[in-house]
Structure formats: C-alpha cells, structure tokens
Structure 1
Amino acid sequence: MQRFFPYLIGLLIVLAILSSCVFVVRERDSALVFALGEVRETITEPGLYFKLPPPFQNVVRLDKRLQTIESKDPERIQTAEKKNLLIDSFVKWRITDPRQFYVTFGANTRAAEERLSAQIRDALNASVNVRTVKEVVSSERGDIMKEMLTTVDNRARPLGVEVVDVRLRRIDFAPEISESVYRRMEAERKEEANRLRATGAADSERVRAQADRQRQELLATAYAQAQEIRGQGDAQATSIFAEAYGKNPDFYSFYKSLEGYRAAFSSKDDLLVISPDSQFFRYWESVRGVEPARAQ
C-alpha cells in the first residue's frame, strides 16, 4: 500500500491540474480569460472551455443578465417654473462589452450602478429643468423618458454597458409647493367650469329663443289657416242659408222667428215689454204659422 501512495498523490495532483484547466460558462454569464494580468479572450457563449492552469491563466465571470437600478429616495428636481418635484425612477441595463466593462469598473457591479445613477440624475435634470410642471406630469412625460434613455445610453456605451429602458415611476410635488399647486389647479378647474357654464347658458338661451320663434311662427301659421277655414265655412254657411231662403222664404222666416222666441223666453224670469201687434208676434196671429197679409 505504501508503494502505491506516491502514485496516488501524483494522480490527485494531475486531476487537480486538469480540473483547473477546464471551466464552464453559463448562459447568464460572460467570461474573461486573463494571462499574466492581461485579457487574452472574451467568451460570451455558454459551454465548456479550456485554459492553462493558474497562475498562467485565470477566469473572471461577469453577469450579462438584465439588471435594474432603482432609486432609493426620490430625486428633487426643479422645473422651468422653479418648482421642485420629487421624481422616482428606475433603469434597466446590462453588460454588452465585458472587456470594456472590466477595464472601466473591474468586476465591481456596484461601481457601475453608481456611475449610471449619476448619469441618470444629470439626464433627468437636463430634461426636467426646461419644462413646466404640467409638461413633466402629463403632456411630455413620455418625451422625457425617451430623452433620458438616449442620453444615458450614449454615455454608457463606451463603458461596455447598454441601457435598455428608463422609466419615471412616480412624480410628486415637494411639500412646500403642494398646497399652492393644488390651489392653482382648483382655480383653473373653477375657471374652466365657469366658462363651460357660461357657454351652456348662452347655448340654452339661443335654443330657447329659436324654439320661441318657431312656436310663434307655428301659432301664426295655424291662426291664419284657422281664419281661412273659418272664413270658408262662414261663406259656405251663408251660401247654404241663402240657397235655403231662396227655396222657401216663408219657412225660413218662420224658423228664424222660432229661434228668436226660444232666445227671448229661455228663462221663467224673462220679462218682455212689447206691443202685441209688433212684428215679433206676427206668426202668433195665424194658427197655421203663416205670416198674415199686411194691410195695404
């Protein structure tokens, strides 16, 4: 057993040397192969690779996955109106050039995040300082994020980093200006409401005037048509009466006298003082209801 012990030790040493010559690159990593302190090879594809044993060559791995930088505290940024806003943002980034990234930051990802955070603050200040509160909060929020993404990405490319996305997560007013901003917004909303009420009242009066005019026109047209129809009816009635009177004048005279009697004696309390030989009672002197002949 003691005779084979040196061989066993030698085998273990050989296996250790061989294992130090083999390394694995995972899908989420990229690798830099160093020889005597200099980068000899950059590996970005996953797989099994070989190298010389240390100290001749060694490997440094860098995470190439998408990473996030979130602001711990909202940034206080001043707008073009000299109003302070508290803006909370986050950034998505990843390593695209492992060699350049290592030259700039080594294997220290924290240093890269601090560098990118400073660039983000500069880009945020540059975009917000030239805009009003309303533009930052609503109308040009998307433009600000696009500007920041372009600016930060252009500055990060020489560092071996790609900035994939920049988002403004939350925008708040600073406490010292919140009350004044709310009062101004309230005044603007009241002014807009008063304008809409005034416009509505004017439209209401205009519609009401049009309706009144149309009503008057309809009433006038209807009255004119009614008068025309009434005139036509009166003319037809007169024509019928004239035709009837022409056919039998005695009967027509007798009928009109009966209507006069009915009107004169419609109530028991009616009192009529008239001469008996008046023309009013001319049909009463004849039992046949015929007007007596008048004396010549």
Structure 2
Amino acid sequence: MLGPLLSDHPIVGLVVPLTDAQWARLEPLLPDRAPKRGGRWRDHREVIDAIAWKFQTGSQWVHLPEKYGSWKGAYNRLRNWAIDGTWEERVFTSLLAQADADEDLDWVVAVDSSVVRAHQHAAGARKKGPCPASRDHVLGRSRGGLTTKVHLAADGRCRPLAFVLTPGQAGDAPAFTSVMAALRVPRAFGRPRTRPDTVLADKAYSSRAIRDHLRRRKIRVVIPVPADQRAHRQRRGSHGGRPPAFDREVYKQRNTVERCINRLKQWRGLATRYEKTAAVYLAGLHLAGIFIWSDR
C-alpha cells in the first residue's frame, strides 16, 4: 500500500521531469548499450526522471512511486554511471561544451562553497569500494553533527561549472585549486578550455598563493582583501608592497555563485545529504547541473 499512497502525495506535484527539449539534448549523450550481454536498458528517460524525483523530493529510495518502476534499478543506474563517469564526463561536460560552442557560456566565473547537513542515515558507508573518496565519504563531524561542504564554480549566468566535495569543517581556500582543476570544457578543435577570463571570490579566498596561481595563468583576479591582511601590509610600510587591484563593480557579479547554490538547493535531496557515499551525492549534484544546462 505504501507505493500507491506516496505516488498520490502532493509532494509529487513539486517534481519537474525532463521536458521534450531537454531530452532531445540528453538522449544522444547517453550510453546506447546494456552493461551485460543480452541485457536490456530500462528507458533512460524514465530512469532519469525517477532519480530526479528522488533528489528533488528528498524521499527515501523505497518510496519511489510505482510508475517509475523498481527503485533498485534506478539506484544502480545512478551509482554505476557515477563510478564510470557517465554523469560528469559524458553528459555534464558535454553540455558545457555545447553551450561554449554556442557562445552561451559566460567565462566570468565565481567560486564559493556551501555547507550541507548530512542526515544520520548518510553515515555508515563501507570504507572500501570503487566510489571516489570511499575512505571517509567526505563527512565532517562537529558539534552540529555530520556535514559535507560543496565547493563549486558558476558561470556569469548562475549555472554550475565544476563541483568538489570536502568534509564540512574544511576551509574554502585549500579547495580552490581543486575547483579550478575540475573546470574543464572540451572544444571541437584544440585542447579543452580550463582558464576563465575572470575569477571572483569572497575574502575567504584572499591569499597570496591563490592570487599567484591565477596570475600565473593570466586570469583576472577579483577578490577583496580582509581588514587584517590590509593592516598587516600597512604596518610593514614600503616592504608591504602595493595592495592587490580590486574592481568593486565587477565584484558585484559574485552573487551569481550564490544564486547557483540556491538553485541547486531547491532539490531537497541536495540541500540535505541523505546518500551514504560521496560518489552518489556528487552524481546528484551533476544531475541537477544537467537539468540546468539542458534547459537553456
């Protein structure tokens, strides 16, 4: 009785399945063969809608409405495609490449992070396995409980470009180079583009190492200087050097990454982490990004 009751629940009305236009973009990017000889894929669109329902509502897998079929099949597809890179490399990255080819990708990039509370059911995953970060599954422990931090870069139109996960207590600045390394957009000719025109970030990213990293790559830096760093430079007098350049007008665009985070957290299964493994939760982030990029 549980399945039919939940399928009629009002929360189902909050779910936004793939549109025909989105499916037209995604279908050519998906695997066309079953993983085992003689096997048959369940319809990709149906499975993607099932996975999206789970993350958009934050419900348990066992409560997946009957119209989507077996929850185990949907979960296995999600997990297997997370492990083999289908979600990130084959679909998400390809959508970025299409947008870049159409000149619809704004290379004024903002970087930030957001802490996500992890439900108690997210703990207890196996320490070994094929999933990335399988040792601790990027769960941090503090007085507030279990948390995961999502580091991301967003383009100038509030769309995600790259994700990196760390335990919740990790700092923002140490993960910056990992976020920049994850930013990779293939092109029809030549090497993938990995270098934005401009990078915007808040005071948490104000460090000499980050500024030097961006300058070496000839990327414009728009990061404000905290009061303590400014006072330290002034105390050193002429030995403190010139203050870093800072464009206040351009910095006003940094809200794009915050608005991107808000779009992602409209999916309840991303605003709170229920998944035990980091790979599956990261796949949920990429799926939300796929919905955003395919709807342009």
Per chain length, whose mean CA-contact separation is higher, i.e. which structure has more relative contact order (CA < 8 Å, sep 6+)?
2
Q: What is the TM-score with the length of structure 1 in the denominator?
A: 0.20
* Structure richer in strand, relative to its length: 1
Q: What is the TM-score with the length of structure 2 in the denominator?
A: 0.20
